[in-house]
Amino acid sequence: MWHLLEPVHAVVYYAPEAYEEAAALGYGTAERWPAYFAWRAAPLGPAGAEETTAAFHSFSPDMVARYVPESWRIAAPEAVLAARTRAVTRTYAALLGPGADAPSVAEAATLA
């Protein structure tokens, strides 16, 4: 399942539109980790480093503790969620072209 869905999911971390939305929130481009943790943790609300470490068990607790508090000082989770939605929408519109708003695409998104 990961091999099938990760390419769909990963665009929020690497697409130019995601970097633009993150920059508009105030996340810098020199250090990607505050925005990365914000993109991932925003659905949890303003989770602290301990909760984020537990949710993302593959990251060093020291790394999470370094970047997560900064993530929420830059932008609130609600703002990050809205920006993430815009980033994904913009990215897929660019990738899919004029058919991006087709009913079949909306149905596929709902099913996913």
| 47/80 Cα distance (integer angstroms) | 13
Q: What is the pLDDT along the chain (112 residues), one digit of tens a residue?
A: 888 888 888 887 889 999 999 999 999 877 889 999 999 999 999 999 999 999 988 899 999 999 999 999 999 999 999 999 999 888 888 888 877 777 877 787 778 7
The confidence score (pLDDT) of residue 84 equals: 92
The confidence score (pLDDT) of residue 102 equals: 75
The confidence score (pLDDT) of residue 60 equals: 94
The confidence score (pLDDT) of residue 50 equals: 94
Domain count, the chain: 1
The confidence score (pLDDT) of residue 98 equals: 79
User: CB-based contacts of 26: which residues, under 8 Å, 6+ apart?
Assistant: 74, 75
Strands (E), 16-99: none
Range of the domain at 28: 2-111
The confidence score (pLDDT) of residue 12 equals: 78
Report residue 56 as tokens: 């993302």
